[in-house]
Structure 1
Amino acid sequence: MSFNIKKISFITLPIVLGVFLIWYSLSKLTDNDILSIKTSFKTANYWWVALSLFFGVLSHLSRAYRWQFLLEPLGYKPRFANSIMAVLIAYLLNLVIPRSGEVARAASIKKYEKIPFKKAFGTIVAERVADVIMLLFITGIAFFLQTELLASYLFKDDKESTLISKVFFFIVLPVIGYFTYTVLKKSKNSFLLKIFSFINGLMDGVKSIKRMEKKWQFIFHTVFIWTMYVLMFYTTTFALPETTNLPFAAIIVGFVVGGFSMALTNGGLGTYPVFVASALILYHVDDNPARAFGWIMWTAQTLMVIVFGGISFLLIPIYNKYQK
């Protein structure tokens, strides 16, 4: 019974949180705010949004192709079409049930390419490790740029204080991290052991990539995928006049904040627009255009996943029946 409650909570709580955040953010808007946001939606240049979706499609194609580099050493070479459709189905299901997409992706490739589920799922986990590393790397860049912004607010562009902030983030924190790792390694606490296990998993993933036959191709596609993600965010800023001239720091910080918001609710439901808007407001974008940008960005990404994921869900059995 307790297992069922945990399972139901795991599925429903992110959706409830997302719906609540949507209601809460809308309830705080005045009539003028709502009118301003509607105007932004009506006057937005959707050609830029379409270009951002093109970059999104390229990232999905690259992700499906990158998967081949992990499956080939195991003796499998699935058809590229099946890899693409499995990836898109995974994105679609993640909108409904958190982390269900990874299971569905491995199940799809097992059914249509006869690749054992455990082996397919293992390659997906290795992919996720590479993606976590990329996200952490981009987050590091965001912190590097954000320290300058914070220093300008707190210390009135004091260069010495900015330098101290950077030394703290990029020298002191890594040293603290190293000593924390050694403490976790010797700890017997179950919670701390889980953290240590997660860190070890990341390190094992890095080692497996290093041993990969086509590691440079894998690394190239990993960097390419995340570059496309950033370009999706960047090109959408040109859709609204208020966000057209954002500095590079704002792009990176907004992207990172939006990326982490995706982990809180299904596909960033309710969280993505709020978090991204709060990041852009730091860079002197007015509240309502910032909110409009967040909603345009989230809506475009979600519709892309629903459309392409839905088509893939319907098409994959037909395609494989024809192949047989």
Structure 2
Amino acid sequence: MPKALKNLIKFICFFGIGVLLIWLVTKDLTPAEWDQMNQAFHRANYWLVIPAVILGIASHWFRATRWKLLMKPLGHQPTTLNTFFAVMVGYLANLAVPRLGEVTRCGILAQYEKIPADKLVGTMIAERAVDMLCLILLMALTVLTQAEVLGSYVNREILTPIGNKIANANFVQLLILLLILAAVIGIAIWLLKKFARSKAAVTIKSLARGVMEGILSIGKMENKWAFIFQSILIWGCYLSQVYIGFYCLAETNHLGIPAALAVLVIGSIGMIVTPGGIGAYQTLVQKTLELYGINKVIGFAFGWIIWVVQTILVIVLGFISLIALPIYNKNRSQNNNTASAN
């Protein structure tokens, strides 16, 4: 199958999931709830978008400078602008097809900075591994600092319903459930043994090994503390964007850092699920804000406001970067030639 067709099918599938999630959330809204959402959009304080955009640009800039730190031990020092442009074009590509952006930004930097693509892929894997580690740590922090809120939700929505079903089940139903569970575990073990040496399994093992090596390589970096500090700055910008966003709506302006942390963590999962997070981000943000007493309509509206600001920023900066890349590098080449001549 041609790669372009495969990417198109991927996009349609993931985009379809996003549209389905939006439909599931909005299909039961009453006319009064639609009106409430419309009023929330009209009453929002959009002046606060300005500091949110500044923080968004800063987070992308820190990501570019952090990526440069990973290339330095390999003997390559690309310009910060080329690295920033590559990052933004990568984000733009991710809006079309999830994970396409990683390949795109490596290709751009390889083209304009003459860095071997395989080395760039290694740095990209290391960077993504660190981001995943940061997200896991933030998840743990969210659970530890908000055990009462999250614990009551899990107990109410998950543990209690399951407990009730088990309590009301008869012996035959429990036996069938145990047999199904045993069968699933048995099939999983059989599949793992049978396909342990398959191409897919080898690829997954190689990726996992690369991720682990990427994380461990941070400790060997000359500027590891600068790398850690910039990672904190990136996620700090993300958190600040959400927190400032709370003040856009009267219904959410009382929420604090803990709620912003929960929205950041759960919303980040939504950004991974569908292209640019469409549908998944808004839905997960809505469900998260319900834990803090925000009704579903306002929660959904808030999710859309944050998502639209982030997405427009990526689109604008992505297209500016596409235009700026050849112009910047042409001028850079001419300046280098002039300097050599002198």
> Structure 2-normalised TM-score?
0.80
Of 23-32 and 188-197, more deviation after overlay is shown by 188-197
1:318 aligns with 2:331: no
Shift of 1:189: 5.8
Question: In the alignment, which residue of structure 2 is the partner of 1:282?
Answer: 291
Change in Cα spacing, 1:124 to 1:290, as seen in structure 2 (3 Å) is: same
1:77/1:196 Cα in 2 relative to 1: closer, same or farther (>3 Å)? closer
CA shift at 1:202, angstroms?
3.4
Q: CA–CA distance in 1 between the matches of 2:113 and 2:150?
A: 51
Distance 1:6 1:109, change over 3 A: closer
Give how far 1:8 is off: 4.7
Aligned-partner residue type, residue 30 of structure 1? T
The 5 Å alignment of 1:1-324 reads 1=1, 8-151=8-151, 190=196, 199-324=208-333
Query: What is the aligned partner in structure 1 of residue 160 from structure 2?
Result: none
User: Shift in Å at residue 84 of structure 1?
Assistant: 0.8
Map Cα deviations across residues 185-244 of structure 1 (whole Å, 9 max, x no partner).
x97863887776555443322210001111111111111111111111111011111111
1:160 aligns with none
Other-structure match for 1:180: none
One-letter amino acid of the structure 1 residue matched with residue 20 of structure 2: F
Could you give the per-residue CA deviations for residues 34-57 of structure 1, whole angstroms, max 9, x where no partner exists?
111111111111122221121111
Q: For residue 109 of structure 2, what is the amino acid of its counterpart?
A: I
* 1:239 alignment partner, SS class: coil
Kindly provide the amino acid, as one letter, of the partner of residue 101 in structure 2: G
Change in Cα spacing, 1:139 to 1:188, as seen in structure 2 (3 Å) is farther
Equivalences, count: 296
Moved more, 44-53 or 57-66: 44-53
**Paired residue secondary structure (2:106):** helix
Once the two structures are overlaid, the 10-residue window that deviates more, 312-321 or 197-206, is 197-206
> Kindly tell me: are residues 19 and 155 of structure 1, through their superposed partners in 2, closer, same or farther at Cα, counting changes over 3 Å?
closer
One-letter identity of the residue aligned with 1:264:
V
Q: Distance in 1 between matches of 2:130 and 2:209?
A: 13
Q: Could you tell me whether the CA contact under 8 Å between 1:187 and 1:193 is conserved in 2?
A: no
Structure 1 residues 116, 153: closer, same or farther in 2, change over 3 A? Answer: closer
Q: Distance in 2 between matches of 1:254 and 1:274?
A: 11
CA RMSD of aligned residues (A): 2.5
Q: CA deviation at 1:74?
A: 1.4
Measured in 1, the distance between the counterparts of 2:276 and 2:27 equals 22
Aligned residue type for 2:22: I
What's the TM-score, normalizing by structure 1? Answer: 0.84
Distance in 2 between residues matched to 1:65 and 1:29, nearest whole Å: 45
